[in-house]
Amino acid sequence: MLQRVEERLRSLLTEEHRGRRTAEPRSTALVVGVTELVQAGVDRVRPVICLNGFLAAGGDPDGPAADAAVTAAVALEFLDTCLMIRADVHDNAPMRRGIPTLHISHAAEHERNGWRGESRRFGEGTAVLAGDLALAYADRLAARLPHSVRELWDDLRTERVIGAHADVAAATEYLDDPWPERCITGCTRGCAAGWYGLHHALLIGASLAGRADLVAVYEEYASALHAAWRLRGFLEGGPGYDTDAQFLREVVFGGHAREQAEQSITTLLHRATTTAATAPVPPDWRTELTTFAHHVAGHTTR
């Protein structure tokens, strides 16, 4: 199914490039930018989570719902691409996935060509439009999904925007705290750390498989696993943890406190794996969800 996701991504972007190249050649710059980022992504984290949620819930990979699951997975990848572009512009990040970020590459193009206006503003404006284009692709695909899934999609879209604003507002007001206490005690709506990226992707998979009874199970699994991932990110300097987090880790957060944090990760991981081990899904998928939890809690990449 992941191969089908890759094929769908490639097909959509190839068709878009072909059509835009003849209709409006300048617009291909946006398509190329989105394509480069998508092609550079190797983890496909959200598609993997969504497909895990679908297959663990008993979804048939060869059945009619499988095509909808692939569509949802592709939409999630485009949504992530949009949010990454926006985050890169806001943070003025120079690199993403081993290549220059879009606002940097477009600003450099502007400067090389001696075009009118300010290179930085051109680069940022063009990158934002590329993010909007990725979001348009995501919403186009999501519109084809069943009504129950579209409700989850709309909620996901809203919460990710509100969460991003909460993150920016807290940093602007000097209220941001690198210690992920809120994740540990329980993320809620508007979570700046984006726990719904895990939670909603699983629920979309369950909904497509027709397993409403898995909602509570997936929510418990996602909540504990996300908290463990955020703690791991804090300890190892993963995404979302800047110099303030580094200072807290190295100066304030001593060895004993680090041991306590590791114990918290172990406890949270146990919660997630216990939930997976007792979930009403086939035994092989209990094992798969458990393995996935250990992988996520042991890594800081997103």
Domain annotation for the chain: domains and CATH numbers: 2-297 (1.10.600.10)
Per-residue confidence (pLDDT) for residue 183, from 0 to 100: 74
The pTM score is 0.89
Give the contacts of 268 (CB within 8 A, at least 6 positions apart). Answer: 184, 224, 225, 227, 228, 231, 297
202-249 pLDDT tens trace: 999 999 999 999 999 999 999 999 989 888 887 877 656 655 666 666
Which tokens hold the place of 120? 């930085």
Q: What is the DSSP letter of 174?
A: T
Place of tokens 């598609």: 47
Residue 99, beta-bridge partner list = 96
Per-residue confidence (pLDDT) for residue 22, from 0 to 100: 84
Q: Quick one: angle between helices 64-91 and 45-56, nearest 10?
A: 150
Counting beta carbons within 10 angstroms of the beta carbon of residue 186, is it exposed (0 to 12), middle (13 to 18) or buried (19 or more)?
exposed
Please, where are the H alpha helices in the chain? 2-23, 28-40, 45-56, 64-91, 102-113, 119-142, 147-172, 181-185, 196-208, 215-236, 243-247, 255-277, 283-297
What span, in angstroms and rounded, lies between the C-alpha atoms of 277 and 291?
11
Higher per-residue confidence, 174 vs 44: 44
98-128 pLDDT tens trace: 899 999 999 999 999 999 999 999 999 999 9
